[in-house]
């Protein structure tokens, strides 16, 4: 029984002569490990508004709202911090090289009001030039066009988006005729309107 007691005395002496294992938080701020999974944050310059993060979120912590007024649309994407479990699925699913939304090292996220526990990002929407239906975010269409390269010229919607981004052509949202016509095919159209302009002979 003497040996265990000797061990205890040795541990006691070590504890008195060495630094404590615990950190000095909150006197000194905690510095998370580089791979720590903290609050996800959107990157406005990289996010294309594709909603891949919303589709894979297991807790529905990401949602969106499309608003269209006076022929212009915007998509507001919400991230609810109080619901998020910081799993990293959103970052893993991001099509923009995993840069549109990324986990940070932010962990001290106390709120006095739960309604404040969210962040948003806004992206401009591309509407159908015939019926005004939401097609996608302009950044998303531009991202697809760049990925496809010369293959983007097989889709008028994509190459029109790219040419407008480059400033080569101007916006032209007026139909050639009151009804759908083949001349309207070279526009940014939704799937239904493109089908109508293809089928018509006027």
Q: Is 8 helix (H, G, I), strand (E, B) or coil?
A: helix
Q: Given a cut of 90, is residue 114 above it in pLDDT?
A: no
Task: State residue 144's pLDDT score.
Answer: 94
Q: Residue 39: pLDDT band by 50, 70, 90 thresholds?
A: very high
171: Cβ–Cβ under 8 A, 6 or more apart, which residues? 164
- Find, among 105, 100, 103, 107, the residue nearest to 121 by Cα: 100
Task: State residue 10's pLDDT score.
Answer: 85
Q: Is 149 helix (H, G, I), strand (E, B) or coil?
A: helix
Q: Which residues pair with 118 in a beta bridge?
A: 80
Task: State residue 175's pLDDT score.
Answer: 46
Rounded to an integer, what is the distance from CA 110 to the centroid of its chain?
Answer: 23
**Alpha-carbon gap, residue 81 to 10, rounded angstroms:** 47
Residue 107 near residue 31 (C-beta atoms within 8 A): no
Give the pLDDT confidence of 53-109 residue by residue, as tens digits.
999 999 999 999 999 998 889 999 999 999 999 999 999 999 999 999 999 998 888
Q: What percent of the chain has pLDDT over 70?
A: 90
Give the pLDDT confidence of 140-172 residue by residue, as tens digits.
999 999 999 889 888 888 988 888 888 777 665
The most confident of the ranges 6-15, 16-25, 49-58, 110-119 is: 49-58
Span of 46-55, 108-117, 168-177 with lowest mean pLDDT: 168-177
Q: Given a cut of 90, is residue 51 above it in pLDDT?
A: yes
Query: Tokens 């990157």 appear where?
Result: 43
Rounded to an integer, what is the distance from CA 159 to the centroid of its chain?
Answer: 23
Angle at 102 between CA 100 and CA 103, to 5 degrees: 165
For 115, the token pair is 């309604």
Task: State residue 6's pLDDT score.
Answer: 81
- Going along the chain from its start, the domains and CATH numbers come out as 33-125 (3.30.70.3270), 128-202 (no CATH)
Q: Given a cut of 60, is residue 178 above it in pLDDT?
A: no
Task: State residue 41's pLDDT score.
Answer: 94
């Amino acid at each position: 029984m003497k040996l265990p007691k000797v061990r205890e005395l040795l541990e006691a002496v070590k504890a008195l002569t060495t630094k404590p294992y615990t950190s000095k938080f909150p006197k000194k701020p905690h510095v998370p490990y580089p791979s720590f999974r903290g609050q996800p944050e959107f990157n406005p310059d990289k996010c294309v508004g594709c909603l891949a993060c919303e589709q894979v979120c297991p807790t529905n912590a990401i949602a969106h709202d499309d608003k269209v007024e006076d022929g212009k649309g915007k998509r507001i994407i919400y991230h609810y911090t109080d619901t998020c479990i910081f799993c990293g699925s959103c970052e893993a699913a991001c099509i923009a090289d995993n840069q549109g939304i990324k986990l940070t090292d932010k962990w001290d996220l106390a709120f006095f009001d739960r309604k404040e526990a969210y962040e948003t990002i806004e992206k401009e929407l591309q509407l159908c030039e015939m019926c005004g239906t939401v097609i996608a975010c302009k950044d998303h269409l531009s991202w697809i066009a760049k990925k496809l390269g010369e293959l983007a010229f097989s889709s008028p919607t994509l190459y029109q988006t790219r040419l407008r981004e480059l400033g080569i052509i101007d916006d032209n949202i007026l139909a050639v005729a009151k009804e759908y016509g083949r001349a309207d095919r070279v526009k940014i159209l939704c799937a239904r309107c493109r089908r109508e302009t293809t089928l018509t002979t006027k």
